[in-house]
Amino acid sequence: MRSLVIHGKGSSPEKVEWLAKPLRSFGEVIVPDFEIEVKEGVEKALQYNFDCIAGHSRGGTIALIVGALKGSCVIAVSAPSDRRKQKEYLSKFPQGTIQHKIYEDLIKLPDYEFDYSPLKYADKLKDVLLIHGENDEIVSKEHSIVMCEEIKKYGGNCELHIIPNMKHTPLGQQYSTIWNIIENWIRKRLQNSSQ
């Protein structure tokens, strides 16, 4: 199995090793630099050859859209599923907070960027694993809850895990929980495809 892993805004391939690691035991994993916005990220990711795409935060948003367009399996961690709602949510935080800084970056983006929201592609997603921190301070866990419900509504398979005490980015002590979730999900997929 070949996997593509996409990091979030302000991150790097090294900083998403926690997401790439459990996929490595199932085959090749590509973790390119992806410090680009969603529209361009979708276009770039579509050029890669992979069986499954995974991403964290903005990378998860890209992964969900690309997975829908390519028909591949998707693993998204802490991903905004509605970018307009995400912008509105972040606007409520006071100046000086990380949330407000992200909001200031978002309002500089062209409006078409916000049309690239995974919820618009829910009907095309067939095999998705969503992981979200219960205490995510950047992207509300509601994004993953609503996304999973929409995927199921259209007949797709979606498995959602809310990780207790996890914020937007997992800490080292949460890695093994995430690795177990991902490894079990991939194993189930591989068993189902071999039957």
Answer whether 0.75 is exceeded by the pTM: yes
Amino acid (1-letter code) at residue 108: K
Of the candidates 167, 161, 165, the one whose C-alpha atom is nearest the C-alpha of residue 182 is 161
All structural domains of the chain: 3-194 (3.40.50.1820)
- The one-digit pLDDT tens for each residue of the chain (195 residues) are 999 999 999 999 999 999 999 999 999 999 999 988 999 999 999 999 999 999 999 999 999 999 999 999 999 999 999 999 999 999 999 999 999 999 999 999 999 999 999 999 999 999 999 999 999 999 999 999 999 999 999 999 999 999 999 999 999 999 999 999 999 999 998 888 766
152, 99 in Cβ contact below 8 A?
Answer: no
Sheet containing strand 127-133, strands side by side: 29-30, 3-6, 52-56, 73-77, 127-133, 157-163
